[in-house]
């Protein structure tokens, strides 16, 4: 025994493992093999692995495959893993074996050693064996894909969707609050015809509502679990009812509806459901980026920008310019969305490598998909809390910009013709006078007709003034 280490064995021989570690030889071997990034599997994935091992022990006991005494200890140890008590024992890099076998064995070893303790045995006694007992009825090739789906759906149903529903409600509230504010519309970054600020925010709310529905649709295929397919999808070395019972048990443990995969060969060889969800998150991120960017620009200033919105001040904006306040929450959202765009590229590349009967880029796919889910959920909540709730409008500024806009002439075009309206717009630009002033001065139309046609509110609804 080397000081501070213990000697353990796996199928390749002896390994020196840190004395206090709950993991064993296979984990230690993998830790030495992959000193790549320091990026480890996140809490949602470790939780999912713990739940899978807990469910497997329960199902195997029900099927008469696993000794009740050993099974009960595994259930307790796996539940502790799911709760987060042993996160520090999951020491392996994301950039490892493409099947995630190393991390599956990391979970098996931690749970086996903890189960031995629960039984009153020495941690390394092998009374509970990582492969024979904890991994019973499973392969890394079906356990890891199952963990991806379980972790992703857990985040979707308990974090992402609640966060974006909150954001959608917040945007809808602002749409109602701002519906009496007339502002100038903009297309191509140039002045366009008037719009109500409530209509603009209603569009933002609709974007998020559409995104929520896209996520809900994409989530359906994540309900299918690969568990029960073992090595290549045939189900070798497991009970014929194992897959179905595992889906039922995981549904009970999580409160989320899971189903056994219709086709285990698709479930293990392809990661199309995860790729689709990543693409859906990318679409949602595009929407979120647009909203944050618009609000950032509409709040630009405060004196020399657009200045229509008043963004809540959250922190000093400059180390050299006193009094400067920046739209930092919007910028945070934009960076999160950029990260999600990049994550989707990785997930897409990983999804292409379902070579024959197994995808061999699952760890990096897992990391990027789950990170996107976590970032988007946290960012949506933060945006709603720290920016949207306190967002206000400069009504005087908005009204002033409407009156100055050359696009006001659009309402006159059906009456005086496009060419004449264009002349007025050009003259307005050259003289820096408003359309209203010129039309009244040149007596293009009677004053009452000018007032009726140039009423900004009437220009925010279909039809002519």
Active-site hit among 206, 318, 319, 332: 318
Extract the tokens encoding 204. Answer: 């933002």
188 part of the active site: yes
Task: Determine the Cα–Cα distance for residues 291 and 207; give it in Å rounded to an integer.
Answer: 9
Q: Which residue has the tokens 């190393």?
A: 102
Extract the tokens encoding 153. Answer: 């759906």
Task: Determine the Cα–Cα distance for residues 141 and 106; give it in Å rounded to an integer.
Answer: 15
Active-site hit among 42, 158, 172, 188: 188
Task: Determine the Cα–Cα distance for residues 212 and 227; give it in Å rounded to an integer.
Answer: 28
Tell me the Cα Rg of the chain: 30
427 part of the active site: no
Task: Determine the Cα–Cα distance for residues 329 and 178; give it in Å rounded to an integer.
Answer: 21
Q: Beta partners for 322?
A: none
Extract the tokens encoding 305. Answer: 């920008």
Pairing of strands 190-196, 182-187: antiparallel
The answer to whether 99 touches 140, Cβ cutoff 8 Å, is yes
Active-site positions read 188, 318
């Amino acid at each position: 025994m080397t000081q501070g280490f213990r000697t353990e064995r796996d199928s390749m021989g002896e390994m020196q493992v840190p004395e206090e570690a709950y993991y064993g030889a296979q984990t230690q071997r993998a830790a030495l093999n992959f000193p790549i990034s320091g990026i480890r599997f996140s809490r949602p994935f470790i939780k999912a692995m713990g739940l899978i091992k807990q469910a497997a022990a329960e199902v195997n006991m029900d099927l008469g495959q696993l000794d009740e005494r050993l099974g009960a200890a595994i259930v307790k140890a796996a539940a502790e893993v799911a709760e987060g008590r042993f996160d520090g024992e999951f020491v392996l890099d994301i950039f490892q074996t493409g099947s995630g076998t190393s991390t599956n064995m990391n979970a098996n070893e931690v749970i086996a050693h903890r189960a031995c303790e629960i039984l009153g045995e020495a941690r390394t006694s092998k009374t509970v064996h990582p492969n024979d007992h904890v991994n019973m009825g499973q392969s890394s090739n079906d356990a890891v894909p199952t963990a991806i789906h379980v972790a992703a759906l857990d985040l979707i149903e308990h974090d992402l969707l609640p966060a974006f529903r909150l954001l959608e409600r917040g945007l809808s509230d602002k749409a109602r609050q701002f519906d009496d504010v007339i502002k100038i519309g903009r297309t191509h970054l140039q002045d366009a015809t008037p719009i109500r600020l409530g209509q603009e925010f209603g569009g933002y709310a609709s974007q998020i509502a559409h995104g929520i529905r896209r996520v809900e649709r994409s989530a359906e295929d994540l309900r299918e679990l690969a568990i029960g397919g073992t090595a290549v999808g045939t189900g070798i070395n497991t009970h014929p009812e194992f897959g179905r019972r595992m889906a039922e048990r995981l549904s009970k443990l999580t409160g989320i509806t899971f189903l056994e995969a219709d086709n285990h060969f698709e479930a293990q060889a392809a990661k199309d459901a995860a790729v689709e969800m990543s693409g859906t998150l990318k679409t949602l991120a595009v929407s979120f980026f647009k909203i944050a960017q618009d609000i950032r620009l509409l709040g630009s200033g405060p004196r020399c920008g657009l200045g229509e919105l008043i963004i809540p001040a959250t922190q000093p904006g400059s180390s050299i310019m006193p009094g400067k306040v920046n739209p930092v929450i919007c910028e945070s959202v934009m960076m999160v969305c950029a990260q999600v765009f990049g994550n989707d590229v990785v997930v897409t590349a990983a999804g292409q490598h379902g070579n024959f009967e197994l995808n061999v880029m699952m760890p990096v796919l897992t990391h990027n998909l789950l990170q996107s889910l976590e970032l988007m959920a946290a960012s949506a909540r933060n945006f709603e809390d720290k920016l949207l709730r306190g967002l206000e409008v400069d009504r005087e500024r908005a009204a002033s910009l409407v009156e100055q806009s050359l696009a006001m002439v659009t309402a006159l075009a059906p009456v005086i013709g496009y060419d004449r309206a264009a002349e007025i717009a050009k003259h307005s630009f050259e003289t820096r006078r408003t359309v209203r002033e010129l039309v009244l001065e040149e007596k293009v139309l009677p004053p009452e007709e000018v007032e009726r046609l140039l009423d900004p509110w009437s220009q925010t609804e279909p039809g002519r003034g």
